[in-house]
Amino acid sequence: MRFKYYYFLLLAVGLLMGVILAMQFRVTKEITKDTPSQERSKILSQELEENIKEREKLQLRVYELRDSLDEALVGPELAMLKEELDRVRGLAGLTEVRGPGVEVTLKDSPNALQPGQNPNIFILHDEDVLSVLNELKAAGATDISINGQRIIFSTEVRCIGPTILLNKNQRLSPPFVIYALGNPETLENSLKMKEGVVDSLQPYGIQVSIKQVDELIIPAYSGPLIFKYAKPAKP
């Protein structure tokens, strides 16, 4: 709503300036009409005087609107609006964040494939990565990235052969290095709990390394934001 307010102020200033220019143009145009010079001069003089008065009124209105706009731009409302915008951008994953957390590295099994064994059970799949992500989220992770790619509200993790497709445009291959911000001890314990995510991957030789880090840096999301059905809510 505040953006609309500033927009209408700017629009009003532009409209008034346009009216002023139109009046000046009309006075100039009248000079070319075929009327006797004395009569034409009298008519133009009257119109000019009226236009000057009207222009002065409009000019005063322009000054008033500009003053209002200046006050709005330097007032506390703009600072509050910017603070709210920064907060929302942070929640949406559009800004870089840093803080303590865990670094989780996932690698395919190094075990040699035996005759008759299915090779797919020894490599990482999208469900394995999703299991780790879901467990971290459930344990309170606030921000997550995989191989430097930010995870946001619309992120999809899909399996494409020996790789995964992230955010519909990033193809990643193992090892997968996951950064998660949050309480390092809590996040690590959630993955290592009995019969948890790590235990479910160990029978297949999938390698999982978890390291607590004092400060991690997770970049801002840089991909496209496409909404097929969502629309801005009406005020």
Q: What average pLDDT does the segment 93-121 reach? A: 84
Q: What's the pLDDT at 6?
A: 56
Q: Is 134 helix (H, G, I), strand (E, B) or coil?
A: helix
Percentage of the chain exceeding pLDDT 90: 29
Task: Give residue-wise pLDDT tens across range 67-98.
Answer: 777 676 666 766 777 788 788 888 888 889 99
Sign of the alpha-carbon dihedral angle for 28, 34, 36, 42: negative
CB-based burial of residue 144 (10 Å sphere; 0-12 exposed, 13-18 middle, 19+ buried)? buried
Give the integer Cα–Cα distance in Å for 80 and 193. 43
* Side-chain half-sphere CA neighbours of 183 within 13 A: 7
Per the CB < 8 A criterion, the answer to whether 220 and 202 are in contact is: no
Task: Give residue-wise pLDDT tens across range 160-219.
Answer: 877 888 887 888 888 999 999 999 999 999 999 998 999 988 888 889 999 999 999 999
